[in-house]
Amino acid sequence: MIGGFNKSGLIELLRKHPDWNEDTLSIIFDVSAKREIEPYDVRSKRNKLLALSTESMPEERKHKYENSLYLLSGTYAQYLPDDFDVGYLDSLSGVKCTPGQKTSRVINKVCQQFGVTMEAEFNARFAELADTLNPIDIPRVASLSVHPCDYLEMSNTSNSWSSCHNLHDGCYRAGTLSYLLDETSMIFSTVEQDWTPPLYEAPKVTREVFCYASGILLQSRLYPNYMDTKTAGVYRNLVQAAIALCKGAPNFWTLKTDIGTIEEYVDTCPDSSHYTDYIYSDYNPTLSLLKSEDTSGLSITVGKEARCINCYSTVDEDDTLWCFDCEEGYTCASCGCTISGDDVHYVGDNTYCEDCVFYCERCSEYVLEELVPVYNIRGGTIYVCQNCYEDYAGECEECGDSYLSQCLTERDGRYLCPTCLEAVEADEAASA
C-alpha cells in the first residue's frame, strides 16, 4: 500500500502549516459547533413531559398545567424574554416569575406546583426538555489529513452515521482506496474534544473530502448532513486559510457552486471506485479557485484505480478491498468457519468471524469478551470493552447507570450523571 501512496505533494505542502502533526500526517484545528434551540425538539420533549400528567389530576387542573408548559416551552428561549406574560402564568399555575429567569427552572417550579415531580420518570423527562432549551457551544477537534488510515476509516463503524464507503458493508468500500491512492484528496473530519490518538479511530461527528492541486480546491459532500451549508462553509474557510498559509499566498478565493463549472475543473479517474458525491448539486459541493494562481485551462483528477490491500493487485469490484484471489481463505480461530477477506476480523494475530468477536465503540477494536453498555455525552448508548470501561467509564452514584467518565460530574463527593445532577440542582433551587 505504501508503494502506491501518492500524497507526497500534499504532504510537502501541508507540512508548512504551523499546526501540522507529522505522526498523524494532518493539520489539527480546534473548532466549535453551536447547538441551537430547535423548536421541534422542544415540542417533542415537552409532550413527553406532559404525558406524565396523572390520571387522577382534575380536568381543569390538568388543563392549567398543560397551558403553563405550552406557554413556557413556546418561548423557545433559554431565558424568559422581556415580553413574557408573567401574570398569565401566575393565573394558570400560581408560579411567580420575572423576565430573564432561566426557562427550565420556571418549568420545574410549575411541575412542582402541579405535583408532577413525584412521577417516577419525571427527572429523566424534565432533563431532556431542559437540555433542548439550553444552547451550548460544543468544542471539537478537526483534522485535515492525508494519513492512510483516515481514508480507510472515513466512514468507520463507530460513527453515529454511515456512508457507502463504510469498510464493514459499504457498497463503495473500494472507494476508500481510490481516494487513498490519488494525488489530490484529503480527509477533513471532526471528533469530540476528548478524543485520544490515533484520531482516525475516533467516531467522526462530521466528515468531508477536500481535493486540491494547482490552486483548485474541491469540497465534496458534508456527512452526515449535506444540507448544513453553514457548517460546510466554516470548514471550507478553514481549509482555504490553511492552504493559502502553506503556499504563502493571500487568502483570497473565487467560489464556484454551479455543477457545470465544477465539472470543468474536476476529472474523475475512469478506473476509480469511489462514489462521486461532488458531481451532484443536491449534495452542495463547491469549488474554490485561489486568486493568486492562474487556474485557466487547468483541472484536478480525483480518485485512482483501487488496489488489493493484501497483494496490491487490481480490485475489480467496488464493494471489496480485495482482489479475487485474496478474497477467500481465512479461518476463524474460534469456531473454525471460513471467512472472506471483507468479513475477517483480527484480535491479536488471530482471525475471527463476525459472530465470534465484539466491536468496542470506544477504542474501535474487536475483542473476544462481551461488551458493556454505557451512555455517551450525547445521551446515546455505546458498547465498550472491559478495558475501556475501566479506563473511561463509571457508574452514576445516584441512579447506578453506566456513563463515559466525561459525562459524570462530582457533586458533594459523589459522581452524578447529567440527569441526576439536573435533578439535584432543581431540588436545591426549589428549596432555596
What are the C-alpha distances in Å from 150 to residues 119, 144, 155, 199?
47, 10, 9, 8
* Least confident among 190-199, 237-246, 280-289: 190-199
- The answer, yes or no, to whether residue 3 has pLDDT greater than 80, is no
SS3 label, residue 121: coil
pLDDT confidence bin for 41, thresholds 50/70/90: confident
Per-residue pLDDT tens digits for 109-157: 999 999 888 888 888 889 889 888 987 666 788 899 999 999 998 987 6
Do 292 and 406 share a domain, yes or no?
A: no
- % pLDDT > 90, the chain: 57
Instruction: Read off the pLDDT of each residue in 315-324 and give the average, rounded to a whole number.
Output: 84
DSSP annotation string for 357-400? -EE-TTT--EESSPPEEEE-TTS-EEEE-HHHHHHHEEE-TTT-
Bond prior to 418 in cis (omega within 30° of 0): no
Residue 367 inside a domain? The answer is no
Tell me the CA distances in angstroms from 145 to 10, 24, 54, 98, one per residue in order.
10, 7, 55, 50
235, containing H or E segment: helix 229-247
ω before 135 within 30° of 0 (cis)?
no
Q: What integer pLDDT is reported at residue 31 of this predicted model?
A: 80
| pLDDT, tens digit (0-9, with 9 covering 90-100), for 276-319 | 999 999 999 999 999 999 999 999 999 999 998 877 888 888 88
Query: Three cell numbers at 61?
Result: 387542573
Is 117 found in the same domain as 63? yes
> Which range marks the domain in which residue 206 is found?
2-33+138-302
Query: Which of 260, 284, 302 lies at the terminal end of a domain, its last residue?
Result: 302
Could you tell me the three cell numbers for 324?
479475487
* Domain shared by 19 and 46, yes or no: no
Instruction: Report how far residue 113's alpha carbon sits from residue 93's, in angstroms, rounded to the nearest whole number.
Output: 7
Write the CATH number for 379. 3.30.40
DSSP reduced 3-state for 211: strand
Residue 200: pLDDT band with limits 50, 70, 90:
confident
Same domain, 282 and 239: yes
CA distance 16 to 38: 41
Q: Determine the 3-state secondary structure of 10 from DSSP.
A: helix
Name the most confidently modeled range: 36-50, 253-267, 332-346.
253-267
* Orientation of helix 122-132 relative to helix 103-113, angle to 10°: 150
Task: Give dist(CA 330, CA 341) in Å, integer.
Answer: 7
Mark whether 338 and 246 lie in a shared domain: no
- Give residue 393's pLDDT: 92
Tell me: do 154 and 15 sit in the same domain: yes
Handedness of CA 198, 200, 206, 209 (dihedral sign): positive
Q: Which residues contact 120 (CB under 8 A, 6 or more apart)?
A: none
Burial 149-166 (b: 16+ CB within 10 A, else e): bbbbbbbbebbeeebbbb
CB atoms inside a 10 Å sphere around CB 145: 24
| Domain count within the chain | 4
In this structure, the answer to whether residues 95 and 236 fall within a common structural domain is no
CA distance 251 to 430: 54
- End residue of a domain, out of 134, 153, 171: 134
360-372 pLDDT tens trace: 998 889 999 999 9
User: Are residues 315 and 273 in contact, defined by beta-carbon separation less than 8 angstroms?
Assistant: yes
Same domain? For 339 and 288 the reply is: no
**Domain co-membership, 117 together with 96:** yes
Mean pLDDT of all residues in 56-76: 90
CA-closest candidate to residue 212, choices 233, 189, 186, 232: 186
SS3 3: helix
**Residue 108: its pLDDT value, please?**
93
Q: What is the pLDDT of residue 91?
A: 94
The model's pLDDT over 336-358, given as tens digits with 9 standing for 90+, comes to 887 776 678 889 888 899 899 99
- Dihedral class, residue 252 (left if φ above 0, else alpha if ψ from -120 to 50, else beta): beta
Q: What is the rounded CA–CA span in Å between residue 77 and residue 68?
A: 15
| Same domain as 283, residue 426 | no
Is 157 within a domain?
yes
pLDDT band at 328 (very low <50, low <70, confident <90, very high): low
Single out the residue of 205, 214, 145, 208 nearest to residue 180, CA to CA. Answer: 145
What pTM does this model have? 0.58
Q: How many CB atoms lie within 10 A of CB 46?
A: 22
What count of residues does the chain have?
432
Distance CA 413, CA 397 (A): 10
417: helix, coil or strand?
coil
Distance CA 106, CA 403 (A): 28
Query: Are both 103 and 207 inside the same structural domain?
Result: no
Mean pLDDT of the chain: 89
User: Is residue 23 domain-shared with residue 157, that is, in the same domain?
Assistant: yes
